[in-house]
Amino acid sequence: MCLDKLVSLMEKQGFNGALVSPGSNLYYLTGLHIHEAGERLTVLAVNSDGEYHLLAPSLYGNVIEDFPVTFWRDGENPYGKLGGILRELDITSGRLLVENTMRADWLIGIEKLLRDHDLHPLSSLMRELRMRKDREEIRLMEKAAQVVDDVFEEILAMNLIGMSERELALKIELMIRERSDGISFEPIVASGENGANPHHAPGERKLKKGDLVILDYGAKWESYCSDITRTIALGKPDEKLLEIYEVVKNAQESAFQTVREGITAREVDKAAREYIAKAGYSKYFTHRTGHGLGLDVHEEPYIGPDGELVLENGMTFTIEPGIYLPGLGGVRIEDDVMVENGRGERLTKAERELIQL
Ligand SMILES: CSCC[C@H](N)C(=O)N1CCC[C@H]1C(=O)O
């Protein structure tokens, strides 16, 4: 349990309490695996003395053990019970942290209890705690990275011509689920001209000779995420696509080589962005170079032109520049990277040279 770390930051920064709803923060702080509970109010309240209490639907009655909890039943109004918990923990006024991802209907219900509070996003403290991974967290991320490397090998062994993007995405999802605790996001398979859309939703387009195919997928290992992108060729693609492949590959390597303890995230972004700009494609690189990775697939530190965070040992993030040419296709190459002994180290190690099947 890492609740004590949050409490000591709350004390230092003058916060009276925190409200945490199900998700990666609740797991990080308590180790409780509560399936995101949909519409049923589920909130952990914590005060700056380190006391805490969970409000949860009674259907979790037999899975939450050895934890201070009040259950509420379908048909009851849970907000009255939450008010009681806040009074009990003496969180009735002052500076209060609230989970960023809390559902709006819960917030509206809770708002009536929080008239005298000054509300702040929980992420402002949680990012301090979660940004630097310890040895055990890195071990789990290495496992998650190994899964996506292995799945890439399996994809290369498949007969892809004639398969639809949707079929391939489903197969990738199955392969990940067979080897891990699940997917970290819905796989992206973007073929041919669809590759020009960085977040393409796999559709009915069938893979054919001459396509570049962007494969972007991730696995979870004990809740920690991986996220990889490789772009492969089916037969011989257009010369222009071959050219942008080399540009993206070199931009990715250049950003990776820049990673150092003590530099800002922005400098890593700049290395990839400048390489692509020099090759004449700056307007076709339409997103940040990467994002932090851990319990969430997108978290701090974000590797973009506005990335002010200073990189430290233990930080983990992706490096994934891309070039997207409307009507023609795209290329993205992504690795998961950690800062270790002052330098970048790749967690994902799958082949980055263009593979032509
Ligand atoms: C969580 S869906 C997108 C996963 C993907 N690996 C990704 O993070 N990106 C694809 C384009 C850029 C980058 C992003 O920042 O969204």
pTM assigned to the model = 0.94
Mean of pLDDT values over 195-223: 98
CB of 216 sitting under 6 A from ligand 1: yes
Q: How many Å apart are CA 226 and CA 301, to the nearest integer? A: 15
The response to whether residue 165 sits with its C-beta less than 6 Å from ligand 1 reads no
Residue 71 in contact with ligand 1 by CB distance below 6 A: no
HSE of 276, CA atoms in CB hemisphere, 13 A = 29
CA–CA–CA angle 180, 61, 33 (5° rounding): 25
Q: 140 — phi, psi (to 5°)?
A: -70, -35
Ligand 1 atom closest to Cα of residue 288? 15
Decide if pLDDT at 36 tops 80. Answer: no
- Ligand 1 atom 3 nearest Cα: 199
* Topology classification of domain 135-346: Creatine Amidinohydrolase (3.90.230)
Report pLDDT for 43: 96
The token pair that represents 248 in the structure block = 């993206």
Q: What is the ipTM of this complex?
A: 0.98
> What is the fold of 3-130?
Creatine Amidinohydrolase; Chain A, domain 1 (3.40.350)
Distance from Cα 75 to the centre of ligand 1, integer Å:
40
| pLDDT of res. 120 | 94
Nearest CA to ligand 1 atom 2: 185
Ligand 1 centroid distance, CA of 198 (Å): 7
> What span, in angstroms and rounded, lies between the C-alpha atoms of 320 and 302?
12
Phi/psi at 43 (5° precision):
-140, 135
C-alpha span between 2 and 28 (Å, rounded): 7
Distance of CA 327 to the CA centre of its chain: 29
Gap between the Cα atoms of 216 and 211, Å rounded? 16
* CB of 195 closer than 6 angstroms to any ligand 1 atom: no
CB 122 within 8 A of CB 97: yes
DSSP tag of 132: B
Write the CA distances from 350 to 15, 148, 205, 232, integer angstroms.
Answer: 45, 8, 26, 12
Over residues 268-309, the pLDDT tens digits come to 999 999 999 999 999 999 999 999 999 999 999 999 999 999
Q: Give the model's pLDDT for residue 111.
A: 83
- Over range 206-224, report the average pLDDT: 97
Ligand 1 centroid from CA 310, angstroms: 22
Q: Indicate the average pLDDT of the chain.
A: 96
Best probe residue, ligand 1, of 194, 268, 287, 316 (max atoms within 8 Å of C-beta): 287
269 lines ligand 1 (CB under 6 A): no
Q: How far is the CA of 69 from the centre of ligand 1 (A)?
A: 37
Phi then psi for residue 224, to 5 deg, are: -90, 140
Closest atom of ligand 1 to 227 CA is 6
> In the chain, what is the greatest distance between 2 CA atoms, to the nearest angstrom?
69
Nearest ligand 1 atom to alpha carbon 228: 6
Ligand 1 atom index nearest CA of 185: 1
Question: Rounded CA gap, 297 and 24, in Å?
Answer: 10
Give residue-wise pLDDT tens across range 85-128.
999 999 988 899 999 999 999 998 888 888 778 889 999 999 99
Ligand 1 pocket mutation pick from 227, 300, 332 by most atoms within 8 angstroms of CB: 227
Structure tokens at 255: 């950003």
Q: Is the pLDDT of residue 75 over 80?
A: yes
Q: What is the mean pLDDT of the segment spanning 35-58? A: 92
**From the CB of 225, is ligand 1 less than 6 Å away?**
no
Q: Measured from the CB, is residue 288 less than 6 Å from ligand 1? A: yes
Taking the C-alpha atoms of 18, 225, 259 and 244 in order, what is their torsion angle to the nearest 10 degrees? -130
Beta strands in 102-254 (DSSP E): 117-121, 183-191, 212-221, 224-225, 228-233
- pLDDT value for 252: 98
256: left (phi over 0), alpha (psi -120 to 50) or beta: alpha
pLDDT for residue 255: 98
Where residue 37 falls among pLDDT bands split at 50, 70, 90?
low
- Mutational test site, ligand 1, from 152, 268, 276, 320, max ligand atoms within 8 Å of CB: 320
Distances in Å between the Cα of 215 and the Cα atoms of 138, 165, 195, 204 are: 24, 10, 10, 15
Q: Domain extents for the chain?
A: 3-130, 135-346
Whole-angstrom distance, CA of residue 184 vs CA of residue 204: 23
Question: From the CB of 198, is ligand 1 less than 6 Å away?
Answer: yes
Q: CA 168 → CA 36, 109, 353, distances in Å? A: 28, 43, 22
> Residue 11 has what pLDDT?
94
Ligand 1 atom index nearest CA of 291: 15
Between the CA of 11 and the centroid of ligand 1 the distance, in Å, is 35
